[in-house]
Amino acid sequence: MRDLYVVLWKELREIARDRRTLLAVVLTPIATLPLLGIALVYLPGLQEVLVAVVDEDLSEGSVGNLTVSSQSVVRFVRGYLEAWGFAVTEEDAEAADVVLRVPAGFVANLTSFEHQASVVLVKRLGSPRADQAATYVELLLNYVSRLVSEAKVLALGELAGQDVSAEAVLSPISLKRVVVAPTGAPAGLREELKLQLGRLLAVSLAFVTTPAASYIADSLVGERERRTLEKLLSTPISRSSFILGKSLAASVVGLVGGTSSVAGAVLLYAVPALFRPTDALPHLPSEILVVLFLCSYASILASLSISLPVVLASPTIRAASISSTSAIGLASVVYLATLFVNLDELRMPASLVLAVPYASIASAVVRAALGEPLRAAGYLAYSLAFSVALILASTRLLDPERMVASRT
């Protein structure tokens, strides 16, 4: 234990005096995660997209009790698009990214019982914001279409002397959507948001892996290149204390990064809402943050345990850095996959991915968000056991001859 204390004493002093690195570890997630939020929500709104809504019909008609004109349709579409931040013109602009053309005869066909009215929607390829505008136009036209359909059904019922419900004719099957948690308890919007948030925060764990994995690479191989390793290895400090002390110090660095990652995740969640007042800032469950913090530490240990054997075999700090970056890459892929799939519900052999500690950590976050604390704890315990076992096994891999004699 005393040996371990000696190594830890040295490492923590060195860390505390490396203020630039510490600052980078703290600021990176705090700066990048909110930027991610801004990039996802705010930046698309800044892209200039011009929508042209061209009325070539300029007529009015009625069906049943509903009077409709091509201009009222155009005004309706324009009003909503402008509210959502799009530039709208009623001119036939060549520069427009999206063009909705309402042709002559539109209203006549819209109000007729024999013909279908048609419009033309032209979308310029290559802009996600233009895709969004086109999707909104389709939604608005569907709404208009539904209003006219209801008026037509009521008019036909009146002609036939039959009591008619527009809903019964247009949507004879009513679908009631009930969402339940895995426990069977009813789940509402809050639970769904919590799950989405859990998946999103699992992605943020990728930021945690970087400082710890980089630190262990520098700490072991860098010490050789700074020519301090040989003397330290010749002291009575045991090899296991040497490795464990450095791993503990790296986990402290990772924990600092993990804490700021949680802070960054809160900002990631909050910042888009500041730019989009239409989005209410839903309740951010504190238990998710606690789980995220625990998973951050588990993720740090996982990165250390995976990096350590490779770093110990690396001849140069460059090779060690590349090796530890591979661990970070693996973590990023697994955490990103959590956005799209429950990793613990895959069929064999894909389910073997759970053996990778990052996958079990990501599953722990998702299960905690789904209100299954025991399963979450199980996944977390597995990843911790895996990491600690691998770190302990790595202490046997420390070969002073390789560390001392390999070329730098």
Residues that bind other proteins (CB under 8 A): 2-3, 5-6, 9-10, 13-14, 17-18, 226-228, 230-238, 400-401, 404-405
Identity of the residue, 22 or 121, whose beta carbon is nearer to other proteins in the bound complex: 22
Identity of the residue, 13 or 146, whose beta carbon is nearer to other proteins in the bound complex: 13
Identity of the residue, 10 or 124, whose beta carbon is nearer to other proteins in the bound complex: 10
Identity of the residue, 230 or 279, whose beta carbon is nearer to other proteins in the bound complex: 230
What's the min distance (Å) between Cβ of 212 and other proteins?
A: 19
Q: Residue 109: count other Cβ atoms within 10 Å of its Cβ.
A: 15
Residues 6 or more apart whose Cβ sits within 8 Å of residue 189 = none
To the nearest 10 degrees (0 to 180), the angle between helices 206-217 and 286-312 is 30
Nearest residue to 137 (alpha-carbon basis) of 69, 46, 258, 54: 54
What's the min distance (Å) between Cβ of 361 and other proteins?
A: 32
CA dihedral over 251, 255, 261, 265, signed as positive or negative: positive
Identity of the residue, 167 or 230, whose beta carbon is nearer to other proteins in the bound complex: 230
Distance CA 338, CA 354 (A): 12
Identity of the residue, 2 or 347, whose beta carbon is nearer to other proteins in the bound complex: 2
Identity of the residue, 156 or 232, whose beta carbon is nearer to other proteins in the bound complex: 232
- 241's enclosing H/E stretch is helix 239-275
Two tokens, residue 154: 């009521």
What's the min distance (Å) between Cβ of 214 and other proteins?
A: 17
Two tokens, residue 21: 């690195």
What's the min distance (Å) between Cβ of 248 and other proteins?
A: 16
Any idea what DSSP says for residue 221?
I
Identity of the residue, 10 or 101, whose beta carbon is nearer to other proteins in the bound complex: 10
Distance CA 40, CA 184 (A): 33
**Half-sphere exposure in the Cβ direction for 310 (13 Å, CA):** 18
Strands 50-55 and 98-102: parallel
Distance CA 317, CA 223 (A): 9
62, β-bridge pairs: 67
What's the min distance (Å) between Cβ of 366 and other proteins?
A: 41
What's the min distance (Å) between Cβ of 330 and other proteins?
A: 31
What's the min distance (Å) between Cβ of 208 and other proteins?
A: 24
Identity of the residue, 60 or 225, whose beta carbon is nearer to other proteins in the bound complex: 225
- 87's enclosing H/E stretch is strand 87-89
Distance CA 61, CA 151 (A): 13
What's the min distance (Å) between Cβ of 401 and other proteins?
A: 5
Q: What share of the chain is helix, strand, coil (3-state, %, to 5)?
A: 70, 5, 25
What's the min distance (Å) between Cβ of 234 and other proteins?
A: 4
